[in-house]
Structure 1
Amino acid sequence: MRLQGKTAIVTGGGSGFGAGIARKFAAEGATVWVADINLDAAEAIAAETGARPVQVDVAANDSVAAMAAATGAVDILVNNAGITHLPKPMEDVTEEEFDRVLAVNAKSVFLTARHLVPLMKSRQHGAILNVASTAGISPRANLNWYNASKGWMITATRTMAIELAPFGIRVNALAPVAGETPLLASFMGEDTPEMRTKFLSTIPLGRFSTPDDMANAASFLCSEEASMITGVALPVDGGRTI
């Protein structure tokens, strides 16, 4: 019960890593808001865990403002929502694809900070966790603009940590390798046994990240056990970035 008495928002909490984090936080005693653009998915996880669902488009200012108004002040914010473009040469990514990736992966962190950080500042405490990627540490070819968005998130995490430390707010990031989530096929280009074998060969521990892997790391970084940790980007990658 390391998060007992805490209130948390998990964006993209309706599936994948976000759902795993929401489940873990609820099991650790937190009051959890499962925030997702897919309200049905958010409601399903909320019903399973006793959490509260809220619909949000993290790339839209008015939607994030409405989420903040619904949830009120929270102790923990997990910026997990994210998307990618399909693997392709950088010049073949369309402007629409580029704009959407940067809006969901980067602008969303700005918007949640804009609407939720003032509430954390007023209470002089809080923990923010940004879900980045090994792509922001060790980029792969043909995912150029996705890589860049996750590199942005890691830099944002570090500068947020410096600025918010005087207010008692810690900011960290997780950098997972690809996992068994709805985005896996997009990362690989196609989900075939051959592609899985090729991808897994780059991970020393020989498996993908799981929602439980991410949830356990997130629970630690957002708990008081990590009260002296801020500004880190923790790989949860089976050795992928070594």
Structure 2
Amino acid sequence: MDNHFKLNTVELGDCKEVIHRLRDKSVNLALCSPPYPDKRGDKYPTVSEADFPTWTARWMDSLVGKLADDGSVLMVIDKHVKNGVMSDFLLITQLVLRQLGWTQHMTHIWFKHDGLPLGHRWWPHHCYEEILWFSRTTHPFCDPWAAGSPSTNLAVRNYDQSDWTNGKTGKKEGTARMRDVLVVPVGGNAKGVDHPAKYPQTLCESLIKTFCPEDGTVLDCFAGSGTTLLAARATGRNFYGIDVMKKYVNLARRRLSEGGPQAA
């Protein structure tokens, strides 16, 4: 009996176990927002900050061999600050993954310009989350033009004291590369979806277009309400979804069955 994970479905279970059912090298992009440590424990299982690095290393280790040779893992995550001190769980996690053979690439930023005024009231408004980028290679798939924007000024200009140009280069039209700061409003989150940790489908679509080839497959190890999976389908990619809670597996399945580009 074939026990492989069926393409374009959502499975219930611990991702460390379910990932083993994927075919080797079948995932081009694992895009997820893992449960933040010590947060929303009444909504879904989580772990402590002390355990987060080891816990992350375990589910990432299960991806080894399942990722395509040029595949990537993107994690949307935020830091914690308590009593004025930034916790170190995210720093430790990154160092642990590097020690275990993961290559870390440039971190991207999700800028939430319409987000709630988070952070200490006497400090600057915290309005971004990080998107950590890992792979098993120094040259993962990346097409920064796929989610780029039209531009009439691609040439590097007016840098008189720079090696880039003499400052006299003319304008050039075309598609500008996607930037590593993604400006996506929180207001783009789905309305009426019963999940405490949503993110916008447009954010996922930009990342999928950039880091997953057109004929590729996206995995979300913490599928939640299914936004990543909807984005994969909207961009013409295949997908696998996993969640440990039956409530959210059913929610993701229902949203996928309802379909529609605005379903996220």
Give the TM-score category using the shorter length: 0.3 to 0.5
TM-score by length of 2: 0.36
TM-score by length of 1: 0.38
Compare the two structures and name the one with the higher helix fraction: 1
**Which structure would you say has the larger Rg?**
2
Compare the two structures and name the one with the higher strand fraction: 2
